[in-house]
Chains A and B, each alone.
Chain A
């Protein structure tokens, strides 16, 4: 084991960032392993946060930068975990670093390459609503501030290479195998969004004015594909009526997941507020199943949405959305379960589905590599849900954030700090045992 006690954090979202900063602040060496070209995770995609209505990237970007600059933190982005061996205090980890074809040490993110790249493909970061080039940075605030070439779509015209004044483009770059020796591992892989297209009655991916919540976050975000203007996706028209549908795929037994994703009621309220702030004349409806406003300040937040912003809450899971083929406006059929009337809401311009948030599909592979257990839904199992909420069956491997159970940003951050503390504790114990101390 190296001189400095070392921790590997898997996942560079808000949970991973928080855990890394906590550990680095205590003097540990931290490696952050991130699958995509940038850290930031899901929080970086959000427009605002609830219930504080902060600009999400504005509060996250400084933390991302802090991670980048911190002398005790090393970011390993665009990489995958291959192998874990050993035990607490002495894990041997193999990481596969995919080639970016751009030298991270040379690229300064000036973007003269992207300006000239002739290939445009849908941008994953914008939920494929906007476009990016084949050489790209997922978002303006990306950390590390370095381009990546997507070789699947690249036509190798090498214009980027000619345009780059830093000489950073390197088509000869090879995948790298990185071996690390770490004392503890923290897993914070976050979530994926359930694809609601199998719930055919909502017409997702068939009806253009139906978006998912994450798509909508990008759609209304100032740095998003339409610069934050509130528009109808089908024709760019100005919407007058927007509806949210909750529990799309969550709390089910047939499609999606049996659990509640725990954040949708609140983010829908937040998005409703964003809409009303953008355009006060737009009517907003939220079709909810049970309104779960359980956290501090949450019920007050909903009350404010009702009182000050006039957001209409309807207790119902709508039966179907039908599109008028001429106007592309939508009609939502629903049973107002409080009045027991079957009604339809016509002339809706945009429907935002709030899909279940799933533990990531890659968790299965990660579980195989590390030997930690998953529950039936694909969340990482902890040894005791009450008293050991971040400990896994393998000593020295901890979990935090959404990959452990559904939770919002503050809870993920709190749990990340807990995981960091538990990792520090485990390494301290190892150190004490090494020097021959007590216990």
Chain B
């Protein structure tokens, strides 16, 4: 350990922290050389993802330094920094990196000595704590899956060679309707003409929601989602990346989970009275809910409620589920963003962990995990011995077998948002509806576009959430509102994030035209069972 020298990345604000470091230098104060300084205009500029990226790339600690409260050059940037650092600390705790590897300090331009002593102290503490658990940064890995394919092979595999250029895809695409620069038809047409560069450099490549509406309707069964995914992989192999929402923090989290050294601390949310087991038949696959709970704490959705509700329901049905201590991101978002290398890493580790648990059924509350575990993992590793079910299917079965019974009544009119991964990708339309209508007193009011025709919530795989996404969300929320329902139930945590996020912002329409409470299916069921351990 005596050899170990911690590497610290410091994000210092131009006006205070950096000036303080400058003063330390000009005052010839000595402090450890372990810090690598990155000057930012304001500590408020430091996104959580900057900090996570530092850890991804081998940092042992991160320091964020800004002006003292009340002294911010931009009035409130440092307040913002404080919130973000708090959030990031929580993420680091869940990731198992530890919140004490991140420090926020207020250092003014006059505090050269404070700067030197903070660095000394932080370095000392990190020396004692030891190196980052992540070890060396991950290296680029070769991709097994279809990596050597030519564009012609991709067209053949995705059946795009059969395209009749009829325009059914483009006139269905919710994005093309708002932004004619992108259309599934034009993407296929360019690829068919052999214009590979044009396809890969097209900005539209990153606009696609892979919501499957075009594929659902295409008479030739062209696999647009797969075509787009492969083209994104090809593009990112050439250094082209799309606009990612939330500055890519969720990709960063996924990549951190792709690190084999990562030991997460992701089960803190399990209530004491809940019964879980080390071994058993049923595994509850939680997905990224513990992370969403932190990242999206400011849009009025408590994601951990979904997991707690599911656990409560399983217990009520007499099932003690197995939870994986080090369950990793399923890799769905990375795979649809073109990062197939990290997707395959995650897939391999997750598959090993599930197999090791010897369960016969994996239940998940996330349709993206559901698709990925059931379809994408099977493509990589062959069909597994365990069965993968979405919570809606599992709950429908429980209801059917009479294993859960509702005592009271829940007087509510609800509408249901079909998640694209659950509905069109996987064909699960009836199970969630059976569960909803199975709750006494609940009336299901369908939106105009439902089931196969449902409109996507506007964002997928954290790709380019922009003007068009917001427009789609407004349209969808207004449609839900028009049903006269009190509650919009979804079966996907992400639909809930995106629809609520839209509502948390300034709206282009009258707020009362689109405001509707949202709720996850499992939360609704848990409420109907009695809400005793829901916070």
Contacts and interface: CB of A to CB of B under 8 A. Distances in A.
Nearest to B222: A253
A201 B165 contact: no
A249 B448 CA distance: 24
**Interface residues of A toward B: which range?**
20 to 34
Contacts of A201: 172, 217, 452-453
Contacts of A319: 167-173, 217
B411 interface: no
Contact of A289 (B166, B172, B217, B451): B166
A436 B491 CA distance: 80
Interface string A269-293: 0000000000000000000011000
- Interface residue tally on B, bucketed by range: 20 to 34
B219 A316 contact: no
Interface string B23-65: 0000000000000000000000000000000000000000000
Interface string B181-193: 0010110000000
A335 B183 contact: yes
Contacts of B453: 200-201, 320
B220 A334 contact: no
B168 A341 contact: no
Contacts, number: 84
Contacts of B171: 316, 318-320, 333-335, 342
Nearest to B177: A342
B149 interface: no
A247 B162 contact: no
Interface string A1-42: 000000000000000000000000000000000000000000
A317 B451 contact: no
A315 B170 CA distance: 13
Nearest to A338: B167
B103 interface: no
Contacts of B437: none
Nearest to B185: A335
A92 interface: no
A277 to B, nearest CB: 29
B120 interface: no
A325 interface: yes
B177 A200 contact: no
Nearest to A255: B219
Nearest to B451: A200
A132 B167 CA distance: 41
Interface in A241-264: 247, 249, 251-256
B98 to A, nearest CB: 51
B23 to A, nearest CB: 60
A290 B221 CA distance: 19
A307 to B, nearest CB: 25
Contacts of B165: 337
A312 interface: no
A67 to B, nearest CB: 39
A334 B167 contact: yes
A252 B176 CA distance: 23
Contacts of A249: 219
Contact of B448 (A253, A325, A333, A337): A325
Interface string B217-237: 111110000000000000000
B159 interface: yes
Contacts of A316: 166-168, 171
Q: Which of A256, A333, A335, A337 has the most CB of B within 10 A?
A: A335
Contacts of B169: 319
B69 interface: no
A252 B221 CA distance: 8
Interface of A: 199-201, 247, 249, 251-256, 289-290, 315-320, 322, 325, 333-337, 340-342
Nearest 7 A/B pairs, CB to CB: A335-B167, A319-B171, A252-B219, A319-B172, A317-B166, A254-B221, A335-B170
